[in-house]
Amino acid sequence: MDKLLKIGEVAKQANITVETLRFYQSEQLLIPKMSNQSGYRLYSVQDQQKLNFILHSKKVGFSLSEIKQLLSLRTDKDQHTCEEVKNYTGDKIDEIESKIHDLQKMSLALSNLHNACCGGSESAKQCTILNSLDDPELFANSNNKTLGKNHD
């Protein structure tokens, strides 16, 4: 019933290498059970969910040691007080909200560039609308200026 996958199958599904999975084990991030007749690693569905969390967290800029702490909130509850859990999660939530905010600004700035550009095969140097936003949009603290379309 509890489907266990071997390292190669997990790696393939997650689009990472088996070496990365062994590395995560050596770092105590994701510890599968080991088959005691073959010595092979066997990953449960929960292990695969955990791996998903690791990969998504990495993508948005968390380090492996931060991810380890996040995972330990669930796994090592008895090592923390409720106060610690509450403070830590509160701080992380703030951090995440700030990342979301930064990403929304970047998305807006790039959308302005994207919408302004005609997408044709000529040099973007000629793209006057692209030229017209020559100071701010891509940078932080940008304002929400909307632009028209097309060249010249």
Q: What are phi and psi of 92, to 5 degrees?
A: -65, -40
The label of the residue with tokens 């994701």 reads 30
Binding residue for a copy of itself, selected from 119, 143, 144, 148, defined by CB under 8 A: 119
Cβ atoms 29, 54 nearer than 8 A = yes
Instruction: Tell me which residues in 58-117 interact with a copy of itself (CB under 8 A).
Output: 58-61, 70-71, 73-74, 77-78, 80-87, 89-90, 92-93, 96-100, 102-107, 110-111, 113-114, 117
Cα–Cα distances in angstroms (integers) from residue 65 to residues 30, 61, 102, 110, 151, in the given order: 12, 12, 23, 31, 48
Q: Rule CB under 8 A: which residues touch a copy of itself? A: 46, 49-50, 52-53, 55-61, 70-71, 73-74, 77-78, 80-87, 89-90, 92-93, 96-100, 102-107, 110-111, 113-114, 117-127, 130-131, 133-136, 138-141, 151
